[in-house]
Amino acid sequence: MAAAPGYTTGTTQTPGQVAPDAVPVLAPNGTLDVFNPQVGAGLAPGNIVQIYGSGLAGSATAPAILPLPTGVNGTSVTIGGLPAPLYYVSPGQINAQVPFELPAGNQYQVVVNANGALTTPQPIQLTQADPAILQFKSGAVVAQHHDGTLIQDSSPAAPGEFVTIYLSGMGATNGPVPSGAASPGSPLASVADTATLTLNGAQVPVLFQGLTPTLVGLYQIDFQVPRTLANGNYTLSIAQSGTVSNNTALPVKN
């Protein structure tokens, strides 16, 4: 309604509603490793992480460009003051890469900016490396035969076969790779701190451990299944920088 002396009072109605301010909020202890999303699990420079909360983005978006962008649809993340490359953003979850440029051994603050609104910072602690193995919900390791097909109970690894597994959190590499950039194929980016692979507690020689070529932040380990192994399911784990990964199961059959 509008009124002024000497004029007839006029009214008008405009349909619509007032939208409440969407303030982004980080979930407590909500920055977790992508393959071992457990509170208390370690993180390392270059780690792929899942960041949980609410109001973190206007919609779900996964950018299909490399290097990965540090801003997507008005959402960005800083870790230790550095922009974090983004794999995926949505209102409740962001997948990002911890910048390789952050030195290990320190605590850093995670902050999400959603269209100019900032979350309260939350701390994470970075270690030199803290490997996490990609696994199925069953606990079986996601592993590939030499031809690239998956190793499963119906298609187990054979003694003497060359196998590839995938990990996150293995830290710095010999020959630094910029955050958000695809890993090189030549020369390969091997990890700076050597990891140890065991099957049922027995150490197995590793042929390669480092970043997977053409992908961002994903590591792989290539090894040969010992020729003397009997048939069975073997507990596979990785030790690196004084930390031990999640345990996974590798089926082996002659």
The pLDDT of residue 35 = 97
Structure confidence at residue 20 (pLDDT): 44
Report DSSP state, residue 43.
B
Cβ pair 49, 32 in contact under 8 A: yes
Edge-to-edge strands, sheet with 25-33: 25-33, 48-54, 93-97, 86-89
| Per-residue CA distances from 79 to 23, 111, 242 (Å) | 19, 7, 24
Question: pLDDT in tens for each of the 254 residues of the chain?
Answer: 545 555 455 554 544 333 345 799 999 999 999 999 999 888 999 999 999 999 999 999 999 999 999 999 999 999 999 999 999 999 999 999 999 999 999 999 999 999 999 999 999 999 999 999 999 999 999 999 999 999 999 999 999 999 999 999 999 999 999 999 999 999 999 999 999 999 999 999 999 999 999 999 999 999 999 999 999 999 999 999 999 999 999 999 99
